[in-house]
Amino acid sequence: LQRNKIVDTIVFFGSARFKSTDSYYRKAKELSNKLTKWNMENFTDEHRYVITSGAGPGIMEAANKGAHEAGGMSIGLGISLPFEQTNNKWITKGLNFVFHYFFMRKFWFIYKTKGIVVWPGGFGTLDELFDVLTLLQCKKITRKIPIILFGSEFWNGLINWESMIKHGTISREDLDLFVIIDSVDDAFEYMINNMQK
């Protein structure tokens, strides 16, 4: 990362199971593409935001492919698993990493990120999301990181946020740690207006 002068990233988390024909895949690719073009038009090589994914298929592939098709760089932070794929082919050469330990991979996702988009996903995606939310809630991360949960039907159907407040397990202010958004344009505007420069 240092050799490529990468200081800031925008991380995409999401399911490995979405196919390229799926709506979430297409939207993730579109958002990655828009953010990469915005980045290339507004920032120099000395300061830029590089799309980063978990390097696998599905949403991860969509993020890397969108950046690639925009002519920009993207990072893949993969994980060695006994049953899963190799890293996707859209990651920029030299920015394709494979981790043995999940905790080290999550550290590198968060360490340089200035924004996170979380797409529908399974246990791995939820683990990544709640790790970041916990670090922000407990002030282990003190910088502002805009977090977008993309797809209200999925997120509001999955987690009853109001029930958590009602039972006192989180405060209403904790819901300010993220926004739920349904359109690529809204996600793009929210991200570029809320990332720390």
Each residue's pLDDT, cut to its tens digit, for the chain (197 residues) gives 677 678 899 999 999 999 999 999 999 999 999 999 999 998 877 668 999 999 999 999 999 999 999 999 999 999 998 876 678 999 999 999 999 999 999 999 999 999 999 999 999 999 999 999 999 999 999 999 999 999 999 999 999 999 999 999 999 999 999 999 999 999 999 999 999 76
Nearest to 37 by CA among 48, 46, 27, 22: 48
Instruction: Let me know how long the chain is.
Output: 197
For the chain, the farthest-separated pair of C-alpha atoms sits apart, in whole angstroms, at: 49
In this predicted structure, what is the pLDDT of residue 84? 63
In this predicted structure, what is the pLDDT of residue 1? 66
CATH of domain 8-194: 3.40.50.450
Whole-number Å distance between alpha carbons of 40 and 10: 14
In this predicted structure, what is the pLDDT of residue 23? 98
In this predicted structure, what is the pLDDT of residue 43? 83
Whole-number Å distance between alpha carbons of 197 and 39: 12
Q: How would you write 73-136 as a 3-class SS string? A: CEEEEEECCCCCCCCCCCCCCCCEEEECCHHHHHHHHHHCEEEEEECCCCHHHHHHHHHHHHHH
In this predicted structure, what is the pLDDT of residue 10? 98
Nearest to 119 by CA among 154, 84, 75: 154
Nearest to 24 by CA among 125, 128, 98: 125
User: The pTM is what?
Assistant: 0.94
Query: Domain residues of the chain, as ranges?
Result: 8-194
